[in-house]
């Protein structure tokens, strides 16, 4: 039985309503984070018309900075806000973060120049990690013991469903009515989420013992750095491919621009399925889930790179890359929460810093490859290299756990080294 902060029992309907409200926030975040990827040509032509006319590939590569700016905002904001506000009541913090999302996304739609929009995208990214971190803690408490990864996955389901419904439909809206209207629509989603969270989510206190110093102790643990590197580098493989999916679809596969939303739908379907499966698998074995999904993501990226010029290859590759990468997200977040131990607020948020370092890294390296004349398939091969690096980091990290276990050193339960599934 799940209890509210005042000790009263929460009905199953109230719990579902609260979880849906939290997932709606993930839907808005997925929309604001990924909609630029389907509108890069539109952003480039409107904000940099002169460069777009003289060097289309260069303008699209520069428009990719908007993706990197948002991602860097996540990297900066996630640990800072989570550590600073760990004592805040969680519902109050969620509402403050949703207010920031709404205003920054609206600014992205209304500011006139590329430079100012770049700044707005950075600011819009600041509350991203803290929202997912706090919402994941709230969801885990609502779900009850033994279901942490599934609670994380439920919140993340809003983000993955955004890639099925929100991003494709808002991309279509942006292509028809202009990219600024697309961002206004996203701001409206955040405003609606504010209302839903205010009505549905029960009051949960913050951690009264939390201090900035205690939360930042997470950075003194080697395995925290390994988990962050696994997310930042390994997940960068997914973003290197996804960031430039619009020109891959139009210039490599030869599809009309109107088909880009359909490719995004397929990506989103894969991400939704992968998130659900990954959450269930990670509750059984974090280590095994990470190994399996990383290897399958690597194979999917290679397949996409080799077959992106065919329509079937593009759609099948998009589904598989989206699925295997999304299964890694709750897995990496659970790993971080395990190895950070008592620094739970910052650990829950740091996952999104790591993933958005991957976002920035993948988009940046992919943009360099395109600007260097290597073509639109080159970012996928960059993704292959980054995924291999992620696998190596995971092997080293879990190898350290195994070595410590042999020496009798305490290893946190749930890291993948001490689960009953793995011991068996």
pLDDT tens digit string along 256-299?
A: 888 888 888 888 889 888 888 887 788 788 888 899 999 999 99
In a domain, 414, yes or no: yes
State how far the Cα of 246 lies from the Cα of 40, in Å rounded to an integer: 7
State how far the Cα of 284 lies from the Cα of 147, in Å rounded to an integer: 10
Within 10 angstroms of residue 215's Cβ, the number of other Cβ atoms is 25
State how far the Cα of 351 lies from the Cα of 354, in Å rounded to an integer: 5
Domain that holds residue 38: 12-423
Mean pLDDT for 242-267 is 85
Question: Quick check: 146 and 106 in contact, CB under 8 A?
Answer: no
CA nearest neighbour of 239 among 121, 382, 35, 342: 382
Could you tell me the pLDDT band of residue 187, with boundaries at 50, 70 and 90? very high
Instruction: Kindly report, residue by residue over 361-405, the tens digit of the pLDDT.
Output: 887 888 888 888 888 899 999 999 999 999 999 999 988 888 877
Residue 3, helix vs strand vs coil? strand
In a domain, 7, yes or no: no
DSSP per-residue string spanning 236-269: HHHHHHHTTHHHIIIIIS---GGGHHHHHHHHHH
Could you tell me the pLDDT band of residue 421, with boundaries at 50, 70 and 90? very low
Instruction: Kindly report, residue by residue over 159-182, the tens digit of the pLDDT.
Output: 778 877 888 889 889 988 999 999
Structure tokens at 317: 């590759």
In a domain, 231, yes or no: yes
Q: Is 413's pLDDT higher than 50?
A: no
State how far the Cα of 28 lies from the Cα of 42, in Å rounded to an integer: 21
Q: Residue 2: its pLDDT value, please?
A: 52
Question: Quick check: 48 and 62 in contact, CB under 8 A?
Answer: yes
In a domain, 4, yes or no: no
In a domain, 117, yes or no: yes
State how far the Cα of 237 lies from the Cα of 299, in Å rounded to an integer: 12
Q: What is the mean pLDDT of the chain?
A: 83
Could you tell me the pLDDT band of residue 240, with boundaries at 50, 70 and 90? confident
Q: Residue 418: its pLDDT value, please?
A: 38
Q: How many domains does the chain have?
A: 1
Q: Is 93's pLDDT higher than 80?
A: yes
Q: Output the domain CATH number for residue 325.
A: 1.20.1250.20
Instruction: Kindly report, residue by residue over 113-130, the tens digit of the pLDDT.
Output: 999 999 999 999 999 888
Could you tell me the pLDDT band of residue 422, with boundaries at 50, 70 and 90? very low
Distance of CA 334 to the CA centre of its chain: 14
């Amino acid at each position: 039985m799940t209890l509210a902060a005042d000790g009263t029992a929460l009905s199953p309907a109230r719990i579902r309503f609260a979880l849906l409200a939290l997932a709606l926030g993930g839907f808005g975040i997925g929309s604001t984070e990924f909609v630029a990827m389907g509108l890069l040509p539109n952003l480039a032509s409107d904000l940099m018309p002169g460069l777009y006319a003289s060097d289309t590939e260069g303008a699209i590569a520069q428009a990719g900075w908007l993706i990197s700016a948002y991602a860097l905002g996540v990297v900066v904001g996630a640990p800072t806000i989570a550590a600073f506000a760990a004592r805040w009541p969680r519902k109050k913090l969620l509402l403050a973060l949703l207010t920031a999302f709404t205003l920054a996304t609206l600014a992205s739609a209304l500011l006139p120049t590329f430079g100012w929009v770049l700044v707005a995208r950075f600011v819009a990214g600041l509350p991203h990690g803290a929202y997912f971190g706090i919402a994941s803690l709230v969801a885990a408490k609502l779900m009850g013991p033994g279901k942490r990864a599934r609670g994380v996955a439920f919140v993340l389901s809003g983000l993955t469903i955004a890639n099925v419904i929100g991003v494709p439909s808002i991309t279509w809206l942006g292509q028809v009515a202009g990219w600024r209207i697309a961002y206004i629509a996203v701001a409206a989603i955040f405003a609606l989420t504010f209302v839903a969270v205010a009505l549905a989510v029960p009051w949960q206190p913050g951690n009264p013992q939390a201090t900035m110093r205690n939360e930042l102790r997470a950075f003194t643990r080697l395995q925290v750095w390994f988990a962050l590197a696994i997310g930042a580098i390994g997940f960068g493989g997914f973003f290197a491919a996804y960031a430039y999916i619009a020109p891959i679809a139009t210039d490599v596969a030869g599809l009309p621009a109107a088909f880009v939303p359909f490719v995004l739908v397929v990506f989103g379907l894969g991400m939704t399925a992968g998130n659900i499966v990954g959450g269930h698998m990670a509750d059984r074995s974090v280590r095994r889930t990470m190994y399996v999904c990383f290897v399958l993501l690597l194979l999917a990226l290679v397949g996409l790179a080799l077959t992106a010029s065919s329509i079937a290859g593009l759609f099948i590759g998009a589904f598989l890359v989206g699925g295997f990468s999304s299964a890694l997200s709750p897995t990496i977040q659970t790993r971080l929460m395990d190895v950070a131990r008592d620094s739970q607020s910052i650990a829950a948020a740091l996952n999104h810093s790591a993933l958005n370092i991957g976002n920035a890294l993948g988009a940046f390296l992919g943009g360099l490859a395109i600007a260097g004349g290597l073509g639109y398939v080159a970012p996928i091969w960059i993704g292959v290299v980054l995924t291999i690096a992620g696998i190596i980091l995971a092997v080293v990290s879990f190898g350290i756990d195994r070595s410590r276990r042999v020496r009798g050193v305490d290893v946190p339960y749930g890291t993948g080294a001490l689960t009953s599934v793995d011991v068996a």
